[in-house]
Chains A and B, each alone.
Chain A
Amino acid sequence: MLQKLTITLAALAALILVWNLHTILLVLPDEINQGAAFRIIYFHVAAVFTSFCGFFLAMGLAIAYLVKKNLQYDAMSAAVTEVSAVFATVTLITGMFWGRIIWGIWWAWDPRMISYVVCLLFCWGYLMLRKAVDDPTQRARLSAVLLIFTTLDIVIVWKSIEWWRTQHPGPVLSIRNGGGMAPGMEAPIYWNVLALILLATSMALVRMRQESMQREIDAVRRYAHAM
Chain B
Amino acid sequence: MASKVEPSPALIQTAPRQVKAGFLQQAFAIAGKDLRSEWRTKESINASLSFAIVILLLFSFAFDVSSEFSKEISGGLLWLVFAFAGALILNRSFARELVNDCLDALLSSPASGAQLYLGKCMSNFVMLLIVELMCLPVFTVFYNGLWVSQAPMLLAIFVMGTWGLTAIGTMFSAMTVNLRLRELMLPVLVYPMMIPALMAAIRLTTIVMAGDAVGGDDQIWIRLLIVFDAIFTLLAVTLVETVLVG
Listed in ascending order, the chain A residues whose CB lies under 8 Å from chain B are 66, 118, 121-122, 124-125, 128-129, 132-133, 137-138, 141-142, 144-146, 148-150, 152-153, 156-157, 160, 163
Contact = CB atoms under 8 A, between A and B. Distances in A.
Consensus secondary structure, chain B interface: helix
A44 B168 CA distance: 32
Interface of B: 168, 171, 175, 178-181, 185, 188-189, 192-193, 195-196, 199, 217, 220-221, 224, 227-228, 231-232, 235, 239, 242-243, 246
Contacts of B179: 129, 132-133
Given A122-B192, A141-B246, A156 B239 contact: no
A141 to B, nearest CB: 6
Nearest to B243: A145
A160 B243 CA distance: 29
A139 to B, nearest CB: 10
25 contacts: A66-B242, A121-B192, A125-B185, A125-B188, A128-B185, A129-B185, A132-B180, A132-B181, A133-B179, A138-B178, A141-B246, A145-B175, A146-B189, A149-B168, A149-B193, A150-B192, A150-B193, A152-B231, A152-B232, A152-B235, A156-B227, A156-B228, A157-B195, A163-B221, A163-B224
A142 B168 CA distance: 14
Contacts of B232: 149, 152-153
Nearest to A118: B192
A134 to B, nearest CB: 8
A2 B207 CA distance: 57
Nearest to B217: A163
Contacts of A122: 192-193
Please provide the 4 A-B residue pairs with the shortest distance between their CB atoms, ordered closest to farther.
Answer: A121-B192, A125-B189, A156-B196, A132-B179
Contact of A132 (B185, B235, B243, B246): B185
A184 B243 CA distance: 51
A143 B141 CA distance: 44
A122 B194 CA distance: 12
Contacts of A160: 196, 199, 224
A138 B179 CA distance: 10
Contacts of A141: 242-243, 246
Contacts of A152: 231-232, 235
Give the residue among A124, A128, A138, A149 with the most B Cβ atoms within 10 A. Answer: A149
